[in-house]
Structure 1
Amino acid sequence: MKFSSQIKPISYLKANAAQVVDGLAESGEPLVITQNGEAKAVIQDVKSYEQTQETLALLKILALGNRQVEEGRVHSAKDALASLRKKHSG
């Protein structure tokens, strides 16, 4: 993805909001908004935002799992299944 084609000043957003929203939904790419020549905001369509949030959640779960492995807080599958069976049978 090339951000250079997706950079617009805030004045462009103000003047073309409906067109910008349609373009976001169509392309799925984020748009960087500048103010006084500096990047100030990024806007994206809802579907892309939701996908990003789901990806971040999965990455957090993976990082937590890796940390638990590094700390030695793991159990064998056999022990985990036995523990689950015990909880659900009692």
Structure 2
Amino acid sequence: MTQQTEAEQKMAALLVDALNLEDIEADEITPEEPLFGDGLGLDSIDALEIAVAISQEYGVKLKAEDESTREAFATLRSLTAYVESHK
């Protein structure tokens, strides 16, 4: 299992908090595991909640129609990298 970076740890904690995930701890989210589908099992409503939380926490706006946003939501690692590069 790949270790989370410090930034990934903060993002994982944001995800767990924003989505009220009761069955998983932030440090249990594997950085390369898909966030949607077979991975963490998130859905489009979760994506909206994550986007709002990221906007509030980091001031980064995620636009649904932007292809890079869809790519960013692939994994914890890609989401963290996207937010870090757009802060």
TM-score range, shorter chain: under 0.3
What's the TM-score once normalised by structure 1's chain length?
0.25
Larger radius of gyration: 1
**Greater fraction of residues in strand:** 1
**Greater fraction of residues in helix:** 1
